[in-house]
Amino acid sequence: MNWLAEKERIKQISWWNEVAPGIGLPAHGQVYHLHPVGLVGQFDFKNDLKIIAGKVTFDAEGNDTPGSMHYSRVVHWPGNDLSGVTLGRGYDMGNRTAVEIHKHMTSAGISDSEAKKLSLAHGLKGDAAKEFVRKNKASIAVISMQQQISLFNIIYPDYVKRIIFNYERWTANEADRVSWVDLDPAIQDVLVDFVYQGFTAGPNPMRSGMQNSRATLIAYIEGTPGIKMYEPGRGRAKYLKSK
C-alpha cells in the first residue's frame, strides 16, 4: 500500500472539521444514538394539560379567539350585577378573597406579580367589577391556554361538591330520585353546569335530572324559558343528545 497516497485520500474524505464550525456542530465529531423510548421519556408533558372534567362547562364559558367578546384569557366582566371580575373559563372573583385568588392563580402557573394584580379584584361585583376591568385590562397579562385549563381544573371540583350538596338538598325526599353516584355522567355534567351558572335557588334544575333520564332533562332545558335562553351559548341539550 502506498501510505502517502492513502493519507491524502483520508484527508480528502475527512470533511467534518471543515463543515462543523459553520453549522454549529461539535468539533469532536462523535456520533450519539438515541433510544426512541428513552427519548420520549425526556419530553415535557406539562404543556399537554387536559380538561379533567366538565368540558360542556369549559366550552360554554368562553373562547380563545382574540378580539371576540367572549375571549376568555383576559380579565373580563360578564355584564350583570351578580358577576365579578372573571378570568379564564368562569373564574369569577366576586365571591373570593384576595388570598384565595392569589393561591389559585399561582397554582395555575401565573406569576406572583400577575396574581397580586388579580387579587385586587376580590369581592368586586357589578359596576365595581366593570370599572376594575376597564382600568386594569391593559396592564394584566393574557393567560396562556395551559394556564386557563389549569385554573379550570383547580376550581371545577369545588362545583362538583356544590352540586352534590344541592342535589341532596332538593331531591332527598323524592321517591323516584336516583342517587348522585348512579346518574349518567352526561346528566351529572349538565347539573354541575346549572350550578356553575348559578341555578341553585330552587328545586327544578336538580329535579329535572334526578330520574336519570336524558329525555326528561332535555325537555326541561328546552321547555323552561329561563334555562332555554342560555342554550345557544351553553349547548346543554345538544351535549346530552350527542353523548
User: 24: phi > 0 → left, psi -120 to 50 → alpha, else beta; which?
Assistant: left
Residue 11 lies in a domain: no
- Domain boundary at 97, 114, 143, which? 143
Are residue 178 and residue 123 in the same domain, yes or no?
no
Residue 132 lies in a domain: yes
Residue 186 lies in a domain: yes
Are residue 137 and residue 84 in the same domain, yes or no?
yes
pLDDT beyond 70 at 12: no
Residue 238 lies in a domain: yes
User: So what's the pLDDT on residue 69?
Assistant: 85
Please report, rounded to a whole number, the percentage of residues in the chain having pLDDT higher than 70. Answer: 80
Cα 118 from chain centroid (whole Å):
18
Pair 145, 63: CB distance under 8 Å: no
Arithmetic mean of pLDDT over the chain: 85
What digits encode the pLDDT tens for the residues 34-74?
Answer: 444 444 444 444 455 788 888 999 999 999 898 888 899 99
Pair 124, 114: CB distance under 8 Å: no
pLDDT beyond 80 at 159: yes
User: So what's the pLDDT on residue 5?
Assistant: 61
DSSP 56-107: HHHHHT-B--TTSTTB-SS-B--SSTT-B-EETTTEE-TT--HHHHHHHHHH
What digits encode the pLDDT tens for the residues 66-102?
Answer: 888 889 999 999 888 889 999 999 999 999 999 999 9
Are residue 177 and residue 224 in the same domain, yes or no?
yes
User: So what's the pLDDT on residue 34?
Assistant: 44
Own/partner pairs, 94-102, CB within 8 angstroms, 24+ separation: 94/123, 94/124, 94/125, 94/129, 95/123, 96/122, 96/123, 97/122, 97/123, 98/122
Q: Label residue 108 by pLDDT band (50, 70, 90).
A: very high
Grid cell of 212 as nine digits: 336519570
pLDDT beyond 70 at 10: no
Residue 182 lies in a domain: yes
Are residue 160 and residue 220 in the same domain, yes or no?
yes
Are residue 179 and residue 235 in the same domain, yes or no?
yes
User: So what's the pLDDT on residue 138?
Assistant: 92
Q: Which of 30-44, 165-179, 193-207 has the highest mean pLDDT?
A: 165-179
User: What is the number of structural domains in the chain?
Assistant: 2
Q: Which residues contact 33 (CB under 8 A, 6 or more apart)?
A: none
Domain that holds residue 94: 74-143
Task: Kindly state the average pLDDT of the residues 24-38.
Answer: 50
User: So what's the pLDDT on residue 111?
Assistant: 94
Are residue 163 and residue 195 in the same domain, yes or no?
yes
Could you tell me the CA-to-CA distances from 60 to 71, 106, 208 in Å, in that order? 11, 24, 20
Residue 194 lies in a domain: yes
pLDDT beyond 90 at 112: yes
H or E, element range at 6: helix 3-13
What digits encode the pLDDT tens for the residues 122-138?
Answer: 999 999 999 999 999 99
